[in-house]
Copies of this chain bind each other. A is one copy, B any other.
Amino acid sequence: MTEEKAVKSEQTRALIVETALRLFRERGYEATTMRVIAKEAGVSVGNAYYYFASKEELIQAYFDELQEEHARACRDVLARERDFAPRLLGVLRARVDTMVPYHAFAGKFFKFAAEPTSPLNPFSADAGPSRAAAVAIYREVVDGSTLRIDGEFRRELPELLWIYSMGIVLYWVHDSSPGCAKTYLLVDRTVPLVDRMVSMSRLPGFKSVTRQLVGIIREVRD
């Protein structure tokens, strides 16, 4: 009984999300009203709001989907490559690959993700689990590689790489080049630079800068 209800509930919920995401893709975020989502999904507006507290909350479902898709898209390269640079390159290219189909309306979503009070914001406390999942991929990039660097720095590097990836995303949102070619170019050009800088951190002259950096990160992190 309760179980059947739970299943039905899950179905309705999924139906609403799928319909919403399809319509977002077809007509854009703003042109897709809650009334239309409800009508197309065959439910009432009130029912849609029973499952999702706001229109914005529907976007979370999209972000979760994207995150899973990225994790899947990274598996191959992370299983194959052992060197740091190609691992990072593969993960970042996969990130862009998964996002490209949504480029037209991603800007609208990005807006909500930028609001500090929104649970969609990747830096917010609410987004903790999502962020952890995202950072975990970069931890795997580091830990599964042959990279040899200072242990303290190694511990902070995944989060730094995640922030770097957020910078790539920021660039991507504004990239209007065909096929987002410029974003791929940015990735291809900056990964070797990042690789060089990370490798240099081991050199005697850089130990102090690296330690300084690690100290700052720990000091300003919440």
Which A residues are closer than 8 A to B by beta carbons? 107-108, 110-118, 121, 123-124, 171, 173-174, 182, 185-186, 189-190, 192-193, 196-197, 209, 212-213, 215-216, 219-220
Contacts and interface: CB of A to CB of B under 8 A. Distances in A.
A220 B176 CA distance: 12
Nearest to A163: B167
A209 B196 contact: yes
A189 to B, nearest CB: 5
Contact of A185 (B116, B121, B219): B219
A216 B209 CA distance: 24
Contacts of A171: 220
A116 B123 contact: no
Majority SS of interface residues in chain A?
Answer: helix
A207 to B, nearest CB: 13
A72 to B, nearest CB: 27
Given A193-B213, A212-B193, A116 B219 contact: no
A111 B190 CA distance: 27
Nearest to A103: B116
A115 B124 contact: no
B115 A174 contact: no
